[in-house]
Amino acid sequence: TSYRSTMEDPWQKAYDFAVTVARKAGEVIRKAGESEIKVSTKSSTVDLVTKTDERVEKIIIGSLKEEFGEGTHCFIGEESVAKGEPCILTHKPTWIIDPVDGTTNFVHGFPFVAVSIAFAVNKQLEFGVIYSCLEDKMYKARNGKGAYCDDELIQVSDVKDINKSIIISEHGTDRSPEKVKKIFSTMQKILCIPVHGLRGSGTAATNMCLVATGAVEAFFEIGIHCWDIAAGAVIVKEAGGVLLDVDGGPFDLMSRRMVSANNEVIARRIIKEIEIFSAERDDAPIQKK
Ligand SMILES: O=P(O)(O)OC[C@@]1(O)O[C@H](CO)[C@@H](O)[C@@H]1O
Ligand SMILES: [Mg+2]
C-alpha cells in the first residue's frame, strides 16, 4: 500500500516534489532573463541580487509550506537569510534553498544559472536537487540511491593523477586584497602542479554537478554558503565523490568552506596547496546592532 511505501521511504514524496518545484522555479528564471533585469547589491558592490532571486525564493518556500505544512518543516533560503531570518541547522526537517545560484551569470546572460534545493533531517542531508535552468539539466540525488542527470546515472571521474585533472574554483564576492591574494596564490600553485586546467562556471551548484558527472576532478572554495553547496554535496557523494574541509578534516555544511572531489587522492593533493583564510560561519550568532 502507499502507506507502507511511505513508511519505508519517508522522504520520497518530498524528493519528487523538490524536483517539480525546482523545474517550475527554473522556468520563472528563464522567462525573467528575457526582459530587463534590475540589479541591487548585498554584502559588497559585486554581490548581486535581483527581484527574480526574491520572487523565486518566495515561490519555492511558498509551495513547500503549502505541501508540507508550516511549523513542521524549517527553511533556510539565501534571500530570507539576507533579510534577517536565522541560518541555523537543527534536527528538524529543513529545506536549504538557493533560488538563483549564479546571480551574476544571470544578470550578464552567462549561461550557467541553477536552482538548488536540499533537504536535511537530523542534520543529515537526505537529498539534493539542482536544476541548471539555462542548460535545462536536472541533477538530483538521494542518500544511498545514486546521483542522476535527467534520469541517467552519473559518476565522478576515475582520474587519480593530479597532472591529468581539471580543477574548479571561484573568486567570490569579498574583494579585500589579502583574500584575493590568497585565492590567486592557491590557484597559481595548483595551476603549476601542473594540472590540465582551471575552470569556474560562476555557480557552486553547477560546479559540483561538473564534479559529479566527471567533467572535472574537483571544486573547492572558501566563502560559499550552505545554500550554494547543500544539494551539490549529496549529488557529489552519490556520484561516488568525496567532501572534505579545506584543512583536510570532515566536511561541515555551515563552515563556508569545502573541497569536493572525485576521490580522496585528488582532494588531499589540492588541500596541500590551499591557503586558508577566515570566513564567518553561516550559523554564527547574529551580532546585535
Ligand atoms: O549569490 P549567488 O548567485 O547565489 O551565489 C553565487 C556564488 O558564485 O557565490 C559563491 C561564492 O563565490 C559561488 O561559488 C556561488 O555559487
Ligand atoms: Mg548561491
Q: Give the pLDDT score at 1.
A: 39
For residue 286, name the pLDDT band (cuts at 50, 70, 90): confident
CB atoms within 10 A of CB 289: 3
Contact 269, 244 (CB under 8 A): no
78-127 confidence digits (pLDDT tens): 999 999 999 999 999 999 999 999 999 999 999 999 999 999 999 999 99
Q: Give the pLDDT score at 141.
A: 98
Report the atom number in ligand 1 closest to the C-alpha of 205: 16
Count Cβ neighbours within 10 Å for each residue of 10-26 and write b for 16 or more, e otherwise. ebeebbebbbebbeebb
Q: Is there an atom of ligand 1 within 6 Å of 79 CB?
A: no
Report the atom number in ligand 1 closest to the C-alpha of 49: 1
Task: Look at 97 and 8; give whichever has higher pLDDT.
Answer: 97
Report the atom number in ligand 1 closest to the C-alpha of 227: 4
Q: Give the pLDDT score at 288.
A: 52
Q: Give the pLDDT score at 69.
A: 81
- What's the gap in Å between 123 CA and the centre of ligand 2? 20
142-182 confidence digits (pLDDT tens): 999 999 999 999 999 999 999 999 999 999 999 999 999 99
Ligand number with the minimum distance to the CA of 201: 1
Identify the weakest region by mean pLDDT among 61-70, 194-203, 217-226: 61-70
Q: Is there an atom of ligand 1 within 6 Å of 167 CB?
A: no
Residue 76 grid coordinates: 533556510
Contact 6, 13 (CB under 8 A): yes
Residue 244 grid coordinates: 572534505
CA 276-282-288 angle, to 5 degrees, is: 115
Instruction: Compute the distance between CA of residue 99 and CA of residue 189 in angstroms, rounded to an integer.
Output: 34
- What's the gap in Å between 42 CA and the centre of ligand 2? 12
- What's the gap in Å between 101 CA and the centre of ligand 2? 4
Helix (H, G, I), strand (E, B) or coil at 244: strand
Contact 104, 110 (CB under 8 A): yes
What residue segments make up the domains of the chain, in order of their start? 2-153, 162-271
Q: Is the pLDDT of residue 6 over 60?
A: no
- What's the gap in Å between 7 CA and the centre of ligand 1? 37
Q: Give the pLDDT score at 5.
A: 45
Q: Are strands 124-132 and 137-142 parallel, antiparallel or unpaired?
A: antiparallel
- What's the gap in Å between 223 CA and the centre of ligand 2? 11
210-245 confidence digits (pLDDT tens): 999 999 999 999 999 999 999 999 999 999 999 999
Ligand number with the minimum distance to the CA of 112: 1
Q: Give the pLDDT score at 29.
A: 98
Region 134-149: mean pLDDT is: 98
Ramachandran category for residue 69: left, alpha or beta (phi over 0 → left; psi -120 to 50 → alpha) = left
Ligand number with the minimum distance to the CA of 29: 1
For residue 71, name the pLDDT band (cuts at 50, 70, 90): confident
Report the atom number in ligand 1 closest to the C-alpha of 102: 3
Q: Give the pLDDT score at 9.
A: 76
Q: Is there an atom of ligand 1 within 6 Å of 224 CB?
A: yes
2-153: CATH class = alpha beta
Contacts with 12 (C-beta within 8 Å, 6 or more apart), sequence order: 5, 6, 142
Residue 237 grid coordinates: 557523494
Q: Is the pLDDT of residue 7 over 80?
A: no
By percentage, how much of the chain surpasses pLDDT 90? Answer: 93
Average pLDDT, the chain: 95
For residue 287, name the pLDDT band (cuts at 50, 70, 90): low
Domain 162-271 listed as CATH 3.40.190.80? yes
Where does the chain show beta strands of DSSP type E?
A: 39-41, 48-50, 74-77, 94-101, 114-121, 124-132, 137-142, 147-149, 152-153, 166-169, 197-199, 218-222, 242-244, 257-261
Q: Give the pLDDT score at 70.
A: 78
Give 144: exposed, middle or buried? Use CB within 10 Å, 0-12, 13-18, 19+. exposed
Write the DSSP assignment of 145-165 as a string of letters: S-EEETTEE--------GGG-
- What's the gap in Å between 162 CA and the centre of ligand 1? 26
Q: Give the pLDDT score at 191.
A: 98
Q: Give the pLDDT score at 123.
A: 97
Ligand number with the minimum distance to the CA of 223: 1
Contact 166, 197 (CB under 8 A): yes
> What is the complex's ipTM, to 2 decimals?
0.93
| Nearest CA residue ID for atom 14, ligand 1 | 204
Report the atom number in ligand 1 closest to the C-alpha of 221: 14
